[in-house]
Structure formats: structure tokens, C-alpha cells
């Protein structure tokens, strides 16, 4: 295929999903609880995982530190964790991050912040995260109980109907927090 046509086609494919146009990184830091995600996530990165939590911090070099924790096999299962870092390669596309996780079979993965909820206590309250192929999708929230009360209906509708995560493996699947044994925050 002609190289130019290929570039145009790739451009069209990635144009389907847009990332946020502004991001206040400070308001994105802290703990995030996974309240929904796509089956692609459950079949791969988070196989047999429960209670997935991500914690983002600021490193001295300006990149974000990443700490992902999960319980393995059940909501009270053994804690597993992975660390890494993330950065924004192009400041004009602040929602398109690259993530590196220690020991993962890839150097960098795309991490696109697609939509953000309102800011409360200087933190975004929810985030829809995906990547250009739209296989992997996560909805992160600051407080799973409050998310269910205030935002879940609207966010599920946005993910399913507006963003069209409506395939068998890239749909919105609720990730419950009931029964999750809390993480010790010093970890």
C-alpha cells in the first residue's frame, strides 16, 4: 500500500478517540480506584485481579511515578504491585501519556486520558483512560461509593454510547469494590 494512504488510514483510525485538551497534572495525582474496565483488561494485564488501584506521584525529573496495586484471586487475596513511570511526550497533547512498567513485556504503552470528571478537593473525581486502538479501557475514580452515587450512570453512558466502547471485549464492565480489603497506604 502507498505509504501516504497508510498514514491517512492510521490517522483516521486514531482520530476516533480524542484525548483531553487540557490536563492539570497536580489534580491527576494521588490514588485512583478502578471502578470499570473492558474485558480486554481482565483477559490480559489484570487477569484474576481484584480491587485494582493506581497511585500517581510526581518525580524529581517531572515525570509521574506509577504504583499499581491489586488483590490476586479474590478481594482479600494476596497483594501484588508493579511500579513504573509515565510522561507526556508532547505538551500540545497533554492527555496522551506513555507509561513504562517495570518487568512488563513492552517498553512504553499508550495511556490516553479521554475524559475527566469535575475537580473536588483539588482532584479530578473520575477519569476515562484508554489507548488509540480502544481495546483497553479503564474508568478510575477517587471514591468508588461516591462514584456510584453521583457519576456512574453518566460515565457508563458516555463510554458506551458516545465513545462507543460497545464491542464484546471493549465494553464497560463494573469492577466492584465491595469486599475489598483496604491497602495499607504506607505501601
Ligand X SMILES: *[C@@H]1O[C@H](CO)[C@@H](O)[C@H](O)[C@H]1NC(C)=O
| Residues near ligand X (CB under 6 A) | 24, 26-27, 61-63, 87, 122
Please, which residue, 127 or 137, has the CB nearer to ligand X?
A: 127
| Least distance between ligand X and beta carbon 24 (Å) | 4
Q: What is the CA radius of gyration of the chain?
A: 16
Contact assessment for residue 43 and residue 169, using Cβ atoms and an 8 Å cutoff: yes
Q: What angle do CA 105, 108, 110 make, to 5 degrees?
A: 115
Please, which residue, 28 or 45, has the CB nearer to ligand X?
A: 28
| Least distance between ligand X and beta carbon 81 (Å) | 21
| Least distance between ligand X and beta carbon 26 (Å) | 4
Please, which residue, 61 or 78, has the CB nearer to ligand X?
A: 61
- Give 73's contacts (C-beta < 8 A, 6+ positions apart): 48, 50
Please, which residue, 23 or 51, has the CB nearer to ligand X?
A: 23
Helix, coil or strand: residue 139: strand
Please, which residue, 52 or 96, has the CB nearer to ligand X?
A: 96
Contact assessment for residue 163 and residue 132, using Cβ atoms and an 8 Å cutoff: no
- Give 133's contacts (C-beta < 8 A, 6+ positions apart): 13
- Of 102, 170, 160, 185, residue with least CA distance to 135: 170
Amino acid at each position: 500500500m502507498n505509504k501516504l494512504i497508510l498514514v491517512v488510514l492510521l490517522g483516521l483510525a486514531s482520530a476516533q478517540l480524542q484525548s483531553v485538551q487540557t490536563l492539570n497534572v497536580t489534580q491527576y495525582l494521588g490514588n485512583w480506584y478502578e471502578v470499570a474496565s473492558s474485558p480486554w483488561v481482565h483477559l490480559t494485564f489484570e487477569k484474576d485481579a481484584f480491587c485494582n488501584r493506581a497511585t500517581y506521584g510526581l518525580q524529581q525529573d517531572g515525570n509521574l511515578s506509577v504504583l499499581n496495586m491489586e488483590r490476586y484471586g479474590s478481594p482479600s487475596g494476596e497483594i501484588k504491585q508493579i511500579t513504573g513511570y509515565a510522561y507526556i511526550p508532547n505538551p500540545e497533547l497533554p492527555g496522551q501519556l506513555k507509561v513504562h512498567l517495570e518487568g512488563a513485556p513492552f517498553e512504553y504503552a499508550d495511556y490516553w486520558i479521554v475524559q475527566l470528571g469535575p475537580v473536588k478537593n483539588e482532584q479530578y473525581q473520575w477519569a476515562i483512560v484508554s489507548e488509540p486502538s480502544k481495546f483497553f479501557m479503564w474508568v478510575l475514580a477517587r471514591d468508588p461509593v461516591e462514584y456510584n452515587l453521583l457519576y456512574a450512570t453518566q460515565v457508563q453512558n458516555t463510554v458506551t454510547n458516545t465513545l462507543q466502547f460497545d464491542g464484546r471485549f471493549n465494553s464497560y464492565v463494573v469492577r466492584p469494590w465491595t469486599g475489598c480489603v483496604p491497602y495499607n497506604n504506607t505501601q
